[in-house]
Amino acid sequence: MTQGISPAYSDQMLRDAAARRLAEAAPNAGLAQGADASTAFVESHWRLAAEMGWTGIAVPESHGGLGLGIAEAADIVEEMGAQLFCGPYALSAVLLPGLAPQFGAVGDELLRGVAEGSVRVGLATAEMLSLPGERSVLPLVEHATGASHILHLAREEKGIAFVLYRTAGATFQALQAMDPTTPIASVTLAPDAEIARASCSHDQAERVLLPVHILTAVELVGIARAAFERAVAHVRQRRQFGEVIGRFQAIKHRLADGYTLLSHARLAVSDAVLRPGDIDAAQIARVIAADAAMKITSDCIQLHGGMGFSWETDAHFYLKRARRLHASFGGTAALRKRAGDRFIESLLTTDSDGFSEAGAGREEVV
C-alpha cells in the first residue's frame, strides 16, 4: 500500500480483511499465463464474496443481510479493484438491493438470494433483438457466465426500464472481451424469462444508478492505486546507465503527476461516499477517477518499458479494466455533460432579486 493514498472510507479492519483475502485470490498470475477468467476465477471469487458476507452488505438484516451502507461497500470495492476481482459485485450486492423494493414480491426473494450469494446479476445495456418463436436475444451481456439473473437497462419513451430476467433455459454464446477479467456473451432468453420490471423517468434512473457510479469511481481508484504501486516498485529496482531509473527526472515527473491525479481522485471519491445522495458529487467523482485511472495505468505500462507491453506483465489487465469502467453506463463523457448542464442551469436560475445565488458565490471567489 502506498502511504497516504489509501485511507479507509469506513472501517480499517474491514478494508484490511478484504485486502488480505483478495490478495490471496488475485487472478494476475493465472491470467498472465492465459487462464480464462470465466472458468478459473469468477466462481471462486464469488464464493469468497459470499463466505465473507460481502454479498449481503447492502441487504437489510430482516432479509439476512448486514444492513450496512455505501461506505462499507467502498472499503471492499477499492480492494476488489486493486486485486482485479472477477464478478459483478456492485451490480448484485448494491444495485439490485436498491431496486428490489420496486420489484414487489419478487424483490423479497431476490434480497435473500443476494445475501447468501446465490443471486448474481449480469448486465445488459444494448437493445434487445427479437427472434422467431417468441425468443429474444440480449446481444451483449457483461458477467453473463454463471449469472442467475440478467438486468437489462431498456430505453423507454419517457425514461428507462430496469428489466430482470432469469437465466434458466437461456443459451449463451461467449464473445471476445477486451477486458479478460470480465467475460461477455450474447444471451438468448427463454420465452418466460422476464420476472420483474421497474419503469423510471430519466431523473429517477439517475438516482437508482448513483451507488453504481460511486462504487465504479471507488473501483477505479483501486485500479489506479495498484498500477501506481507497480510502477513505483519497478522504477525503484530497474537499472539503466548504472542508476535505478527512478532517479531520472522525466520518470520522477511522471510519477509525481500520477500521485497528484490519484490523490485528487481519492478526494473526489471520498466526498461522493460521504454524500451518497448527491448526483453531482457521484458523477464528478467517477469522471475524475476514470481520468486518473486511464492516465496512471497507461503510464505504468510505459514505465515498464518493452516488458510492459507483453501479456505476461499484468499491467495491461489494469488498463483494460479501467477502459471498460470508463465506458460503462454510457461513459464518462455523458456524465461530464450532464454535470455541466446542471451547473449551467444553476447559474441561470435566478432568485427574486434577479441574481443567481450560484453566480454570486462564483463572483465572490473571483
Express each pLDDT in 76-107 by its tens digit: 999 999 999 999 999 999 999 999 999 988 99
Percent of the chain with pLDDT over 90: 72
Please name which of 20, 11, 18, 92 lies closest in space to residue 55, comparing C-alpha atoms: 92
CATH architecture of the domain with range 209-358 = Up-down Bundle (1.20)
Cβ 124 vs Cβ 131: under 8 Å: no
Per-residue pLDDT band at 308 (split at 50, 70, 90): confident
Distance separating alpha carbons of residues 73 and 92, to the nearest angstrom: 12
> Max CA-CA distance within the chain?
71
Cβ 359 vs Cβ 343: under 8 Å: no
Q: Which of 54-63, 196-205, 236-245, 355-364 has the lowest mean pLDDT?
A: 355-364
Whole-Å CA distances, 70 to 10, 77, 243:
9, 10, 45
Q: Which of 113-122, 263-272, 273-282, 333-342 has the lowest mean pLDDT?
A: 333-342
Whole-Å CA distances, 328 to 124, 126, 175, 240, 248:
11, 11, 17, 40, 37
Could you please state the CATH topology (level 3) that the domain comprising 12-206 is classified under.
Butyryl-Coa Dehydrogenase, subunit A; domain 1 (1.10.540)
The pLDDT, as a whole number, for residue 354 is: 54
The pLDDT, as a whole number, for residue 296 is: 97
The pLDDT, as a whole number, for residue 157 is: 87
The pLDDT, as a whole number, for residue 246 is: 67
The pLDDT, as a whole number, for residue 131 is: 79
Handedness of CA 178, 179, 181, 184 (dihedral sign): negative
Please name which of 82, 86, 77 lies closest in space to residue 36, comparing C-alpha atoms: 86
Residue 247 has pLDDT above 60, yes or no: yes
The pLDDT, as a whole number, for residue 231 is: 93
Strand ranges (E), the chain: 121-124, 129-131, 135-142, 149-156, 159-166, 171-175, 184-188, 194-201, 239-240, 243-244
Give the number of C-alpha atoms closer than 13 A to the C-alpha of residue 281, restricted to the C-beta side.
16
Residue 174 has pLDDT above 70, yes or no: yes
Q: Which of 3-12, 57-66, 205-214 has the lowest mean pLDDT?
A: 3-12
The segment(s) of the chain belonging to CATH 1.20.140.10 are: 209-358
Per-residue pLDDT band at 181 (split at 50, 70, 90): very high
Please name which of 163, 263, 267 lies closest in space to residue 205, comparing C-alpha atoms: 163
The three-class DSSP label of residue 113 is helix
The pLDDT, as a whole number, for residue 69 is: 92
Per-residue pLDDT band at 365 (split at 50, 70, 90): very low
User: Which residues, other chains included, contact 106 with Cβ-Cβ below 8 Å and sequence gap of 6+?
Assistant: 164, 195, 196
Distance separating alpha carbons of residues 84 and 89, to the nearest angstrom: 12
The three-class DSSP label of residue 184 is strand
Whole-Å CA distances, 313 to 28, 134, 145, 182, 258:
9, 46, 26, 18, 20
Residue 220 has pLDDT above 90, yes or no: yes
The segment(s) of the chain belonging to CATH 1.10.540.10 are: 12-206
The three-class DSSP label of residue 4 is coil
The pLDDT, as a whole number, for residue 322 is: 97
Per-residue pLDDT band at 7 (split at 50, 70, 90): low
The pLDDT, as a whole number, for residue 351 is: 52
Distance separating alpha carbons of residues 5 and 38, to the nearest angstrom: 32
Per-residue pLDDT band at 356 (split at 50, 70, 90): very low
Percent of the chain with pLDDT over 70: 93
Averaged pLDDT of the chain = 89
Please name which of 209, 283, 295 lies closest in space to residue 259, comparing C-alpha atoms: 295
Please name which of 85, 195, 186 lies closest in space to residue 145, comparing C-alpha atoms: 186
Distance separating alpha carbons of residues 167 and 2, to the nearest angstrom: 42
Average pLDDT, integer, range 125-139: 87
Average pLDDT, integer, range 265-269: 96
189 or 307, which is more confident? 189
The pLDDT, as a whole number, for residue 311 is: 85
Name residue 244's beta-bridge partners: 239
Residue 305 has pLDDT above 90, yes or no: no
The pLDDT, as a whole number, for residue 352 is: 45
Distance separating alpha carbons of residues 223 and 83, to the nearest angstrom: 8
